[in-house]
Structure 1
């Protein structure tokens, strides 16, 4: 972000003050136009965790221009102090004090706040690890800001998605408690991320039915995801359930629940 773009010149001026959890932008007013551009009825409080001050400040400014209340910190320890009061966390993995994966794991162990990893780490392994420790999405730098906005909206829609009205889903040795969002296999609890739980619940609600990939994307991921997204989460579910037979692939169509 060394070269100013025409769009960047339109960013509103936002002062930065430093506090215990890092630099926080001071709101000097967000126009109604900015909120209409994003299609929002209200802004969301977003925590940007990034060790690069220039990049973090630029992202914070652009988020605020689009109607969000964004704050920025540069260290993982600061993120662990600030996440409780936000609606969404944008988390870099390259932090000076803690590994971003550990920060994500720590947040997910005690909170359901949505987390989107935004990082330069682009390998498939890094992506899988990020999703397995609880990230709701994984965005690789450099990225398009419009894409990031779309992913933020998709993640927030999914966070509000409610699984089927049944209190409990029983499928062979698998028990899914919808109210507590807990899954157990042979009486042993299986820790799942929000998206993994929603995916498994959707499949288990329609036993012996092949659910098309497109429907999975629409109901669990909100349309803005790729084919690889479903495959990655199916792979993670199979690993956590200990048997690939729990999720059956029907080539060219989609997936259905199996019997392990």
Structure 2
């Protein structure tokens, strides 16, 4: 392989598995990134632009399914899930959530390499949606779950961050009130629009965003809200 060899990110808390994969992948000419936790793995996924992720389900700080969900919010890079759980429902769950393949531990290195080659051949083209936004005033970093205004971090509540995050992930498109309520408060709260109005009001206050002349959060009357990306 050349210097443009695919870069593989391995997220697994077992040191023995990480060493095994590091040696095996490098022997095949791949570049390798190693992470022992979900937080490390997500940070590397953002900063190092891997071509493929090998993701263990049983991580100490976050379940692999949750890591996959985070990745799929902004990236379609191939993900191969690893797990000691061999039940069919586990495989179906991972694949339904966006995994491209699933292998049960222990596994053979040659089979793994064959699956990686297939995933890399069939990986989707086109750029991923950026997990970061910075227009010179407002900064949003999905990987770090941080929001800043004029360089200073904002102290947002969980609901305020969740609303801003969901709107940002659909930047330029209208997100209905029902969708926001369902995804953030739950399906039993789709009629509780007052919750959403209160959180939007506080979020706008912290951003200094005038609803009459919005810079970032625009109300679409009777429908929902839109994040105005620069």
TM-score normalised per structure 1: 0.45
Matched position secondary structure for 2:90: helix
Separation in structure 2 between the aligned mates of residue 57 and residue 41 of structure 1, nearest angstrom: 22
How has the CA–CA distance of structure 1 residues 108 and 160 changed in structure 2, closer, same or farther, with 3 Å as cutoff? closer
Residue from 63, 67, 74 that aligns with 2:25: 63
Matched, 1:133 2:124: no
Contact 1:42 1:67 in 2 (8 A): no
Residue from 130, 137, 151 that aligns with 2:115: 151
Contact 1:93 1:118 in 2 (8 A): yes
Contact 1:49 1:79 in 2 (8 A): yes
Offset of residue 50 of structure 1: 0.6
* 1:37-57 Cα distance to aligned partner (Å, 9 max, x none): xxx895210000111012212
Task: Report runs of 4+ in structure 1 exceeding 3 Å deviation.
Answer: none
1:50 aligns with 12
Separation in structure 2 between the aligned mates of residue 129 and residue 72 of structure 1, nearest angstrom: 25
Separation in structure 2 between the aligned mates of residue 126 and residue 41 of structure 1, nearest angstrom: 36
2:161 aligns with none
Superposition pairs for residues 99-114 of structure 1, below 5 Å? 99-114=63-78
Contact 2:76 2:124 in 1 (8 A): no
Offset of residue 104 of structure 1: 0.5
Offset of residue 78 of structure 1: 1.0
Separation in structure 1 between the aligned mates of residue 124 and residue 65 of structure 2, nearest angstrom: 24
Contact 1:101 1:133 in 2 (8 A): yes
* 1:120-179 Cα distance to aligned partner (Å, 9 max, x none): 1111110011011110000111111110000001111111589xxxxxxxxxxxxxxxxx
Separation in structure 2 between the aligned mates of residue 42 and residue 146 of structure 1, nearest angstrom: 22
- 5+ residue gaps in structure 2? 127-230
Matched position secondary structure for 2:58: coil
Matched position secondary structure for 1:56: helix
Separation in structure 2 between the aligned mates of residue 96 and residue 140 of structure 1, nearest angstrom: 18
Residues 153-162 or 79-88, more deviating: 153-162
- RMSD over aligned Cα, in angstroms? 1.8
Aligned length: 124
Contact 2:14 2:36 in 1 (8 A): yes
- 5+ residue gaps in structure 1? 1-34, 163-260
* 1:177-205 Cα distance to aligned partner (Å, 9 max, x none): xxxxxxxxxxxxxxxxxxxxxxxxxxxxx
Offset of residue 58 of structure 1: 1.8
Contact 2:77 2:124 in 1 (8 A): no
Separation in structure 1 between the aligned mates of residue 53 and residue 73 of structure 2, nearest angstrom: 15
Matched position secondary structure for 1:159: coil
